[in-house]
Amino acid sequence: MTFQFNFAIEDQLESELTPLRDGALALDSSNESLISGSQKGKHRDKKCSREQFDLSQDHLWEPKSVGNAPPFQDTDTSLSSANSSSKLEPHEKQPCLRVAKEHAMPKDLKKVLENKVIEMLPGLQHVNISVVKTILLQENFPGENIVSKSFSSHSDLITGVYEGGLKIWECTFDLLAYFTKAKVKFAGKKVLDLGCGSGLLGIIAFKGGAKEIHFQDYNSMVIDEVTLPNVVANSTLEDEENDVNEPDVKRCRKSEVAQELSKCRFFSGEWSEFCKLIVTSEKLFEKYDLILTSETIYNPDYYGTLHQTLCRLLDKNGRVLLASKAHYFGVGGGIHLFQQFVEERNVFETRTLEIIDEGLKRFLIEMTFKSLG
């Protein structure tokens, strides 16, 4: 059952997200750029040449182990000692290895949308995230507790704890517009929405007839409370249910919807951990034809893992469509730094598809493997 609030939670929550604290990554709601006290944004990964990546030999690829931190479990208490030290500023913390897990689609699909307020975008539905946050705060939700942490640190990003998935970021809309403009084809493709948050990019691929769509987010709460409900809201469940009364027809349609939804798989966890999980979860792992990723290159400390993940998971003829702001103030990342990083590794070529020059400059780029010849 869905329900509607008749007061403006959004305004109240948005205004709570603006103050900036020293060292904390915060969101300036006026321009959505990231700001922090002192993050310098120097990527640590060593340069590696094209020769070091034999793309046909996946076993050579090793996910980078960061520090000596033990892998996280999926609870608050699972933070590693490096990350739980209150003396460390966020930029000094080791990137962590939040262990990856797959989230099953619940059997009772109606339950997934319980207590959710659905909003409409052209051709898309999504849950109102402010309502989700309010409920999670009130219910003292067990597990990650990222909403209260995000509020108490006045930040939309807490490195290694919460990576921003409880919000639809601006560049997602840029990519959505690009899909329409460029008539991007999804039919028959295997697609990954990497760092999915709301999952709107993957949902468009789902609606566009992709044969398989995988959604990945750092935080399991984001997958359970936002991504999964959004996918269900965009399945044909709602329309199908409303126009039939006979139990047999209803049951049959429900199983059709379940079959349709079985094309979607959901994962939480840090990228290198996700990579390990997905590659071993299928007998013969088939790589992705298309990887969609929006606002995932804000932190240069993650570039090495991100690059390895793309190398590892993209089909040799596949492409990555990446959307990013020009620069993420304070965190140090941005499109130019990332493109430079990619260039130095000499594995992918990048092509600028579009520059959106209103407000904060934003970029859409395509990445494909360099031809070996």
Ligand X SMILES: C[S@@+](CC[C@H](N)C(=O)[O-])C[C@H]1O[C@@H](n2cnc3c(N)ncnc32)[C@H](O)[C@@H]1O
Interacting residues with ligand X between 121 and 180 (CB under 6 A): 163-165, 168-169, 171-172
Tokens of 139: 């219910």
CB-count exposure of residue 283 (10 Å: 0-12, 13-18, 19+): exposed
Of 230, 80, 218, the closest CA to residue 157 belongs to 218
Output 302 or 369, the one with its CB closest to ligand X: 302
* Least distance from ligand X to the Cβ atom of residue 294, Å: 3
Q: Is 143 left (phi over 0), alpha (psi -120 to 50) or beta?
A: left
Output 131 or 200, the one with its CB closest to ligand X: 200
* Least distance from ligand X to the Cβ atom of residue 309, Å: 8
Site string for ligand X, 312-351 (x = CB under 6 A): ----------------------------------------
Site string for ligand X, 255-274 (x = CB under 6 A): ---------------xx---
Output 43 or 237, the one with its CB closest to ligand X: 43
Name the residue whose CB lies closest to ligand X.
Answer: 195
Rule CB under 6 A: is residue 198 a binding residue for ligand X?
yes
CA 6, CA 4: separation in Å to the nearest integer? 6
CB-count exposure of residue 315 (10 Å: 0-12, 13-18, 19+): middle
Among 128, 220, 234, 294, contact with ligand X (rule: CB under 6 A): 294
Q: Contact region for ligand X (CB under 6 A) — 42-50, 139-147, 294-302, 341-349?
A: 294-302
Output 27 or 109, the one with its CB closest to ligand X: 27
Cβ–Cβ < 8 Å for 43, 303: yes
CA 286, CA 95: separation in Å to the nearest integer? 28
* Least distance from ligand X to the Cβ atom of residue 359, Å: 16
Tokens of 295: 């606002």
Q: Contact region for ligand X (CB under 6 A) — 67-75, 110-118, 191-199, 231-239?
A: 191-199
Output 169 or 341, the one with its CB closest to ligand X: 169
Rule CB under 6 A: is residue 220 a binding residue for ligand X?
no
Q: How many residues lie near ligand X (CB under 6 A)?
A: 21
Among 32, 174, 212, 217, contact with ligand X (rule: CB under 6 A): 217
Strand-pair partners of 213: 191, 264
Q: Contact region for ligand X (CB under 6 A) — 85-93, 112-120, 229-237, 290-298?
A: 290-298
Residues sharing a CB contact under 8 Å with residue 182, sequence separation 6 or more, in sequence order? 353
* Least distance from ligand X to the Cβ atom of residue 102, Å: 14
Of 303, 302, 295, the closest CA to residue 326 belongs to 295
Helix (H, G, I), strand (E, B) or coil at 81: helix
**DSSP state letter for 184:** -
- Residue 108 to residues 82, 118, 198, 202, 214: CA-CA distances in angstroms? 39, 18, 20, 22, 20
Rule CB under 6 A: is residue 296 a binding residue for ligand X?
yes
**Residue 108 CB neighbour total at 10 angstroms:** 7
Site string for ligand X, 31-70 (x = CB under 6 A): ----------------------------------------
Q: Contact region for ligand X (CB under 6 A) — 36-44, 63-71, 111-119, 213-221?
A: 213-221
**DSSP state letter for 253:** H
Q: Contact region for ligand X (CB under 6 A) — 215-223, 245-253, 333-341, 353-361?
A: 215-223
Residues sharing a CB contact under 8 Å with residue 80, sequence separation 6 or more, in sequence order? 67, 69, 70, 72, 94, 96
The residues that touch ligand X, with contacts defined as CB under 6 A, are 163-165, 168-169, 171-172, 195-198, 217-219, 270-271, 294-296, 302, 305
